[in-house]
C-alpha cells in the first residue's frame, strides 16, 4: 500500500497533472464566468443597441455619442462628472490632509495613541448604508443633531441636504467621517517605516516639527501617498453608496449631488422618475468610467512613482 503510493507523482505524471488541475479548476471557472467574460462583454455591449436585456443591433459609437454630445444625456454626464472631480479634490484636501496631520500626531506615540487608532478606524468597518442614514438623521434641518448643536450657539436651522449649495459638501463630510481612519493608518504605517533614527538625526540637526513634516516625512512616505491618492481617485469615481442613501437615486436636490455612479445606475437599471432603462448607454458610461479610472491611475502611478525614485 505504502509502496504503491510512494513517488506517485513521478510514477504517474498524469495523476500529478490531474491533481494540480483539480486544485486550480474551481477558482479558474468562477473567474472566467464572473470576471473575465463579463469584463470582455462590457466593452462589446457598449457598441450595441438593446431591447431590454437583449443586445439587438450593432450601432458603433452611437451610445458614446449620446452620453457625451446629445442633450439631455450629455448634460447629466458632465454634471455628474463635475461632482466626481469636486469629490476627488475635496477628499484629497480635507480627508487625506486631516489624515496626514492625524498620522503625524499619532507617530509621536503619546499616551492613548493606540486606542485612538482603534477609534478613528471604527467607522471604516461600518456599512456606508448605516453611516449614510445615520448622518442623514443628524443633518435633518429641524431635529438633527447638527442643527440642534448649532442652535445652542444661536445659529439658525440650515437645511444641509435640501440646499443645493450645502448638499454635496454635507455628503462629502459624511464620507470623510466614514473613511478618515483608512488614510490615517496607511500614512501612519508609512511614517513608522521612515524609522526612528532618521527622525532623531533630523531632530539633533535642529529640525522643528514643520521642517520634519515637510522636508523629511513627506518625501519619505511618497509610496504611501501614491497609494492613498490612487485609492482616493478610484473611490471618488466609483462613488455610489453614500450619495444614494443620503440624496437618492437622482442626486437631489436638482442633481446637485449627482455622480457618475448614480447616473450609471439610473441609466442601466432604470429610475422610477425618468423611466429610462438602457443597457447600451449604461455600458458606454461604464466603459468611459473604466477608461478614466484605469487611464488616470496608470498615468498617476508613473508620475508619482517617479517622484518616489528621485528621492
Kindly tell me which residue out of 241, 296, 304, 308 binds other proteins, with binding defined by CB under 8 A: 241
Is 262 a binding residue for other proteins by CB under 8 A? The answer is no
Q: How far is CA 259 from CA 86, 219, 244, 263, in A?
A: 10, 33, 9, 6
Note whether 132 and 241 are within 8 A (CB). yes
Kindly tell me which residue out of 51, 56, 57, 127 binds other proteins, with binding defined by CB under 8 A: 127
What part of residues 172-231 is at the interface with other proteins (CB under 8 A)? 177, 180-182, 185-186, 189-190, 209, 224, 227-228, 231
Q: What are phi and psi of 16, to 5 degrees?
A: -65, -45
What part of residues 32-91 is at the interface with other proteins (CB under 8 A)? 33-39, 41-42, 45, 53
Length of the chain: 311
* Residue (14 or 165) nearer to other proteins, CB: 14
Report the nearest approach of other proteins to the CB of residue 214 (Å): 16
What part of residues 132-151 is at the interface with other proteins (CB under 8 A)? 133-135, 137-138, 142-143, 145, 148
Cell numbers of 195, please?
Answer: 524609522
Q: What are phi and psi of 144, to 5 degrees?
A: -70, 150
Other Cβ atoms within 10 Å of 247 Cβ, number: 25
Kindly tell me which residue out of 87, 128, 222, 247 binds other proteins, with binding defined by CB under 8 A: 128
Rg (CA), the chain: 25
Kindly tell me which residue out of 67, 80, 91, 120 binds other proteins, with binding defined by CB under 8 A: 120
Q: What are phi and psi of 27, to 5 degrees?
A: -65, -40
Cell numbers of 113, please?
Answer: 495613541
252 three-class SS: coil
* Residue (17 or 214) nearer to other proteins, CB: 17
* Residue (216 or 280) nearer to other proteins, CB: 280
Kindly tell me which residue out of 11, 30, 276, 299 binds other proteins, with binding defined by CB under 8 A: 30
Report the nearest approach of other proteins to the CB of residue 75 (Å): 22
Is 307 a binding residue for other proteins by CB under 8 A? The answer is no
From the centroid of its chain, how far is CA 200? 36
What part of residues 285-304 is at the interface with other proteins (CB under 8 A)? 286-287, 289-290, 293-294
* Residue (7 or 196) nearer to other proteins, CB: 7
Note whether 281 and 168 are within 8 A (CB). no
Amino acid at each position: 500500500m505504502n509502496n504503491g503510493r510512494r513517488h506517485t507523482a513521478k510514477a504517474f505524471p498524469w495523476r500529478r497533472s490531474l491533481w494540480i488541475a483539480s486544485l486550480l479548476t474551481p477558482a479558474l471557472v468562477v473567474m472566467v464566468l464572473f470576471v473575465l467574460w463579463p469584463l470582455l462583454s462590457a466593452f462589446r455591449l457598449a457598441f450595441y443597441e438593446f431591447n431590454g436585456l437583449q443586445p439587438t443591433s450593432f450601432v458603433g459609437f452611437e451610445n458614446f455619442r449620446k452620453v457625451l454630445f446629445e442633450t439631455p444625456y450629455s448634460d447629466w454626464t458632465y454634471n455628474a462628472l463635475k461632482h466626481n472631480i469636486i469629490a476627488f479634490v475635496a477628499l484629497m484636501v480635507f480627508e487625506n490632509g486631516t489624515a496626514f496631520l492625524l498620522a503625524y500626531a499619532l507617530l509621536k506615540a503619546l499616551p492613548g495613541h493606540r486606542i485612538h487608532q482603534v477609534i478613528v478606524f471604527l467607522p471604516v468597518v461600518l456599512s456606508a448604508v448605516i453611516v449614510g442614514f445615520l448622518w442623514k438623521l443628524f443633518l435633518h434641518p429641524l431635529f438633527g443633531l447638527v442643527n440642534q448643536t448649532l442652535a445652542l450657539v444661536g445659529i439658525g436651522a440650515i437645511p444641509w441636504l435640501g440646499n443645493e449649495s450645502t448638499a454635496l459638501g454635507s455628503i462629502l463630510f459624511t464620507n470623510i467621517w466614514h473613511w478618515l481612519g483608512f488614510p490615517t493608518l496607511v500614512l501612519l504605517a508609512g511614517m513608522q517605516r521612515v524609522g526612528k533614527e532618521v527622525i532623531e538625526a533630523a531632530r539633533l540637526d535642529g529640525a522643528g516639527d514643520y521642517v520634519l513634516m515637510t522636508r523629511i516625512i513627506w518625501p519619505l512616505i511618497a509610496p504611501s501617498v501614491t497609494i492613498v491618492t490612487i485609492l482616493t481617485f478610484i473611490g471618488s469615481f466609483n462613488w455610489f453608496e453614500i450619495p444614494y442613501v443620503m440624496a437618492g437615486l437622482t442626486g437631489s436636490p436638482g442633481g446637485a449631488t449627482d455622480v457618475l455612479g448614480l447616473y450609471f445606475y439610473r441609466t442601466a437599471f432604470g429610475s422610477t422618475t425618468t423611466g429610462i432603462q438602457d443597457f447600451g448607454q449604461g455600458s458606454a458610461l461604464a466603459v468611459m468610467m473604466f477608461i478614466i479610472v484605469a487611464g488616470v491611475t496608470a498615468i498617476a502611478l508613473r508620475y508619482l512613482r517617479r517622484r518616489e525614485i528621485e528621492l
